[in-house]
Amino acid sequence: MAKGSARARVAALVRRLAPGSTAAEHAEAAHALARLCSDKSQNREYVRGCGGVAALVGLLAPGWTDAVHMQAATALRNLCIDNEQNQDSIWACGGVAALVGLLAPGRSAIVQMQAASALCNLCFENAQSKDSVRECGGVAALVGLRESLFKHVLQQAGQDRIG
């Protein structure tokens, strides 16, 4: 994909994250952004430059579907790869608190895992984000998630032996 067409594609996807789109459209656009940002550092720059960070953080708010939450968290996870400016932008937009909120008990496991993964990338070599995770109760939430998943694995192992 040529440089100009990549920028145009990213800009079009970010526009689809705007209010007025359906939850399915938001999830689809966030998924496409996550894929574009998974291995192309330039696309990560384009997303930030087009206002995509704030739009994706906005999709972490309560009221959106699990699919929207999962795809937005995945896109934010990928935006953080080797990109301190994106880490700082996500922090500045309130993304740390929003991601920690997705770790709450009762959330779908896939949403929790994508939020945890995004927090890991967000905190990689970024003291400001690490401090923010601690201040938002993220450490306790991550420990709780680990314990919950461990219990689930043990339950599944027990059922497999019985069944």
Q: Is the pTM of this model over 0.75?
A: yes
132: CATH: 1.25.10.10
pLDDT of 156 reads: 67
How far apart (Å, rounded) are the C-alpha atoms in residues 58 and 19?
10
Instruction: Please check the confidence at residue 158 and state whether its pLDDT lies above 90.
Output: no
Of the pLDDT bands very low, low, confident and very high (cuts 50, 70, 90), residue 115 is very high
Closest by alpha carbon to 59, among 30, 89, 100, 31? 30
The per-residue DSSP string of 76-90 comes to: HHHHTTT-HHHHHHH
Q: What is the residue-averaged pLDDT of the chain?
A: 90
Domain housing 114: 3-162
pLDDT at 118: 95
Q: Greater confidence, 127 or 33?
A: 33
Q: Given a cut of 70, is residue 2 above it in pLDDT?
A: no
Residue 40 has pLDDT above 70, yes or no: yes
User: What's the total number of domains in the chain?
Assistant: 1
